Structure 1
Amino acid sequence: MTDIQRETMEYDVVIVGAGPAGLSAAIRLKQLDADLEVVVLEKGSEVGAHILSGAVLDPCGLDALIPDWKEKGAPLNVPVKDDNFYLLGEEGKVRVPNWPMPPLMNNHGNYIVSMGNVCRWMAEQAEELGVEIFPGMACSEIVWGENGEVKGVVAGEFGIAPDGTKGDGYEPGMELHGKYVFLGEGVRGSLSKQVIAKYELDKESEPQKYGLGMKEIWEIDPEKHREGSVTHTMGWPLNKNAGGGSFIYHLENNQVYVGFVVHLNYENPYLYPYMEFQRFKHHPLVAELLEGGKRVAYGARAISEGGYQSMPKMVAPGVALLGCSVGMVNVPRIKGNHNAMLSGKAAAEAAHAALKDGRSADELSDYETEVRGGAIGDDLKKVRNVKPLWSKYGLNASLALGGFDMWTNSLFGASVLGTIKHGKSDAEATGKAEKFKPIDYPKPDGKLSFDRLTNVSFAMTNHEESQPAHLKLKDPKVQVDVDYREFAGPSQRYCPAGVYEFVDTDSDPKFVINFQNCVHCKTCDIKDPAQNIVWTTPQGGDGPNYPNM
């Protein structure tokens, strides 16, 4: 479609993604210079519609960006009152005491929040400063400049028919050009992938590692509700099959966030992350809490877990990667939103200084220097070995060695272990089916546990069916010849929304993509063993519509 004529709009800074990183960048730019032209483009139907996070928020990012956030009504209403850590067996539990843990693991001063609602509030602050925010505007392409720099993005293309041609109601979208473009798409963003590949930004970093986070919101019996309580568990039901764990956060209004994370470097292709989550809720610790309650929302999202050693170069001509487009999650803390905010602030300050000097479309190297050498780098360096230790040696070694390593980093600013490498990508970690046995999962009971398609309806996801599937196959044959025949079709299990299935498996297997179910978690783009599935943006506004995630 290179012959398409589009209108163009010119800005000082174009920001893709109205998450905590993108909105922080927009706010900071306008704080520094009210006359800057700043636009934020969001693919969700509204700001917050595609935001899913735990979340216990460290407010240090907000403190730096909007010091008077309390007076301005930021939705941080539930301070953490108590921290609980458990190792689970199938029926029992062992409490892990808080005292041996390094101070960075303490949640004192943090808040249980809906990051969707925090982003909605941040969008209001940005708009009051004069930022233009356009929801329902998926950014489908990068606009490249004459010298190979990132010049802008294409947003708002609608009406492409399923065969890829222009439909009757085709709208070409617009080109939004910026002196700088910020990509705050979150984990595994489609434009960020292109930029990283074109400029080889990851050639000196370790492979990025990921987890799949699944989350439900429950309304529970008021007598069981403990506002401000935070619980994390490890062990059962995953045990040695995969790394990961759970979170249970008591927010206001008798609601509880129940979440489960599975590290995507698991080997057994028969592992079914969604069913591990459902099984987890039958543990007595969880079942007693949820009994008599009702699930009111469901969603899923990939999480960047590679940490400090997996962060690619963050800048290229005309473009900067923000937040989880780089991978800034502190894995043992299960927190990244504070770093996303700090990264947006740092990028904004670097861009403002460059624009003030009359520069444009070059590399904002000051941004990268600040991220690696400032508060974000300090946060991530201390915990950089926890994830690779867990991956290489298992949970117990991670608890002992990882805890020791965090203490030495916290006390002395150095690690006796150096920096441990991750090695394989999560796709490469998947083992062939012949080496493993299928896992027998109990059937959901419809009270505590639910089948996948029923739960997906609680994500309120929707995609216009008269468009091409946004989940692309590099080679359709590969999904049957490799994914199904060699790996027993893990795509039909690792997807938390039931997008993929194999039919006619007794005769001539066919791969079916039910893209309408997609909740934009990006797991397929990450875990597919042959890396044959490519996640791209559907038309704007499509996807989940999360209320309070």
Structure 2
Amino acid sequence: MPYDVVIVGGGPAGLSAAIRLKQLAEEKGHELSVCILEKGSEIGAHILSGAVIDPRALDELIPDWRDAGCPLADTPVTDNQHWVLSKSGKWGLPHLLTPPFMNNKGTYTGSLGNLCRWLAERAEAMGVEIFPGFPAAEVLYNDDGSVKGVATGDMGVARDGSHKADYQPGLELHAKYTFFAEGVRGSLTKNLKVKYALDEHVEPQVYGLGVKELWDVAPDKHVPGRVIHTQGWPLDDDANGGGFLYHQANGQVALGFVTWLNYRNPYLSPFQEMQRWKHHPAIAEILAGGKRVSYGARAINDGGFQSVPHLVFPGGALIGCSAGFLNVPRIKGTHTAMKTGMMAAEAAFDAIAATRANDTLDAYQSAYEVSWVAKELSKVRNVVPLVKKFGDLIGSMLAGITMWAEHLGLRMPFTMKHHPDHASLWRKDLVTPIDYPKPDGVLSFDRLSSVFLSNTNHEEDQPVHLHLADPDRPIAYNLPHYDEPARLYCPAGVYEVIDEGNGPRFQINAQNCVHCKTCDIKDPTQNINWVTPEGGGGPNYPNM
């Protein structure tokens, strides 16, 4: 199937790129074929974010979005609070201490999945072809080494590799340019980075794991537009992260907890840290009388400015979280993802209009380097390394000083480095195991009941999409050294160590996978490789 542009991923970056391509084609009177491949069962099914969204890119892309039925317009942010938590208390960080670009004036809170569904309707109305349930499983190359397109995964393959009665081979989609908008730790993007040495001269990407729930709260607890961020308890200086509570439309609060994946203790469980956080008196007060209605988890890029790889290669480009444009201290990346999709679209349109194909879109790379995206990320480039190096209290103070300096035009004469998350774990004999309280079923819950609320489903009789480079390593190496940390860092109960009397064995419950990618990131020997499962598998988030 030939197209002018194929986009892998129907998130905010991919959809913005598709819409911008069609806008340009309409403006210039140029025919342009564009398609989006989305691995989820529908657009938005795999989208998970807080989310408080800066509308800057949306204003550029669709200026009348507030009056055009966009669901994001329902809840502007009206109140912004930042709490520092101790085990039983809190104090609010005064607004005067934070640089102006850290406030949430002019932002909106809502479901990013629903925003993507709305964008998809706009894209389809403009002629974009969208194929949900079709994951791109392989990059195709021309003889000269440029990207030719992608192939979707085969359907109807049994766990043993044989073809079932409903077997359908994958499709090849060829394009003049292919955009990779897979989100964090994309399986194809990983291969492209290696093939084209895209991250050879940048710092390693680092990550956090966000665990999120959606609650219907009591009417007297709900303040539409109120945004709360927390730091401190329950994490200590051996781990970093923080929580959020966003009062959104329809009496709901989106709340979650992000644990940076550089933590040292292999007994730490990001899922259980989130459950424990909800028992803080200030959090529990908001949730009292409420009901949890949805659950999900997703890794996020924390590397920022110094971890953005080279964005272009012959025949294609990285956009959105495939490259990593999250502004960590602002906890926002939708606007930057959308803008990079738009910049890539503009470069590709010009190339196609000039009858070029499969070359390198250097205009996109150049546009990014002088864009407000790069300027915004540069201002906060040292925040994450400072907090990791000096701890939550001192690191946050130093980060605040650097952000104020950058805001006042005093550029710091240094850019700090990152260290890969998988290399940070200490051996189990050097740490103290963490005794997490049992869930009470009111505020805190277990993983399996949580996965149920994510509507996760995979066809059981299909090849396991979590590949082990060495099947013996979990038991032979990870278990004696780290007590096999996959059992704890996975927020969906995918990994277990089971002993049925014949010695321990490693079990992968792939049907539970919510596609968060944490295992691909945090495994200490990088033994786990996440690849796309059969199309449509995974979570089905209705309003996340």
Q: TM-score range by the shorter chain?
A: over 0.9
Q: CA deviation at 1:372?
A: 2.2
From 109, 112, 116, give the equivalent of 2:106.
109
Structure 1 residue 33 and structure 2 residue 22: aligned? no
Q: CA deviation at 1:79?
A: 0.5
Secondary structure of the structure 1 residue equivalent to 2:41: coil
Structure 1 residue 90 and structure 2 residue 87: aligned? yes
Please name the residue that 1:409 is paired with.
406
Q: Distance in 2 between matches of 1:252 and 1:18?
A: 24
Q: CA deviation at 1:362?
A: 1.2
Q: Distance in 1 between matches of 2:467 and 2:351?
A: 38
Residue by residue over 1:323-375, the C-alpha shift from the partner in whole angstroms, topping out at 9 and shown as x without a partner, is 10000000000000000000000000000111111111111111111112211
Please name the residue that 2:49 is paired with.
53
TM-score (norm 2): 0.98
From 337, 362, 365, give the equivalent of 1:340.
337
Q: Distance in 2 between matches of 1:238 and 1:171?
A: 48
Residue by residue over 1:176-201, the C-alpha shift from the partner in whole angstroms, topping out at 9 and shown as x without a partner, is 00000000000000010110011111
From 1, 10, 14, give the equivalent of 1:22.
14
Please name the residue that 2:347 is paired with.
350
Structure 1 residue 451 and structure 2 residue 428: aligned? no
From 223, 226, 229, give the equivalent of 1:226.
223
Q: CA deviation at 1:164?
A: 2.1
Q: CA deviation at 1:166?
A: 2.5
Paired AA for residue 326 in structure 1: A
Q: CA deviation at 1:398?
A: 2.3
Structure 1 residue 119 and structure 2 residue 126: aligned? no
Partners of 2:159 and 2:461 within 8 A in 1: yes
Please name the residue that 1:359 is paired with.
356
Partners of 1:158 and 1:540 within 8 A in 2: yes
Secondary structure of the structure 1 residue equivalent to 2:175: strand
Number of residues of Structure 1 aligned to a counterpart in Structure 2: 539
Secondary structure of the structure 1 residue equivalent to 2:258: strand
Please name the residue that 1:532 is paired with.
527
Q: Distance in 2 between matches of 1:156 and 1:537?
A: 8
Please name the residue that 1:150 is paired with.
147
Please name the residue that 1:5 is paired with.
none
Q: Distance in 1 between matches of 2:443 and 2:466?
A: 31
Partners of 1:241 and 1:271 within 8 A in 2: no
The answer for unaligned runs of 5 or more in structure 1 is: 1-8
Q: CA deviation at 1:413?
A: 5.2
Please name the residue that 2:296 is paired with.
299
Please name the residue that 1:6 is paired with.
none
From 435, 439, 457, give the equivalent of 2:434.
439
Partners of 1:382 and 1:413 within 8 A in 2: no
Q: Distance in 2 between matches of 1:167 and 1:38?
A: 32
From 176, 189, 192, give the equivalent of 2:189.
192
Bigger mean CA deviation after superposition, 237-246 or 521-530: 237-246
Q: Distance in 2 between matches of 1:399 and 1:81?
A: 25
Bigger mean CA deviation after superposition, 502-511 or 100-109: 502-511
Secondary structure of the structure 1 residue equivalent to 2:481: coil
Q: Supply the RMSD in Å over aligned alpha carbons.
A: 1.0
Secondary structure of the structure 1 residue equivalent to 2:46: coil
Please name the residue that 1:548 is paired with.
543
Percent identical among aligned pairs is: 56
Structure 1 residue 502 and structure 2 residue 494: aligned? no
Partners of 2:386 and 2:396 within 8 A in 1: no
Residue by residue over 1:451-507, the C-alpha shift from the partner in whole angstroms, topping out at 9 and shown as x without a partner, is 111111000000001101111101101111222121111000000000000011875
Please name the residue that 2:261 is paired with.
264
TM-score (norm 1): 0.97
Secondary structure of the structure 1 residue equivalent to 2:482: coil
Q: Distance in 2 between matches of 1:156 and 1:131?
A: 21
Q: Distance in 1 between matches of 2:181 and 2:83?
A: 34
Structure 1 residue 183 and structure 2 residue 175: aligned? no
From 212, 224, 233, give the equivalent of 1:236.
233
Residue by residue over 1:377-420, the C-alpha shift from the partner in whole angstroms, topping out at 9 and shown as x without a partner, is 0110000000000111111122211111111111115114x111
Residue by residue over 1:281-306, the C-alpha shift from the partner in whole angstroms, topping out at 9 and shown as x without a partner, is 00000111111110000000000000
Partners of 1:92 and 1:284 within 8 A in 2: yes
Secondary structure of the structure 2 residue equivalent to 1:248: strand
Bigger mean CA deviation after superposition, 237-246 or 165-174: 165-174
Structure 1 residue ranges, 4+ long, deviating more than 4 angstroms after superposition: none
Please name the residue that 2:163 is paired with.
166
Bigger mean CA deviation after superposition, 466-475 or 157-166: 157-166
Please name the residue that 1:323 is paired with.
320
Secondary structure of the structure 2 residue equivalent to 1:218: strand
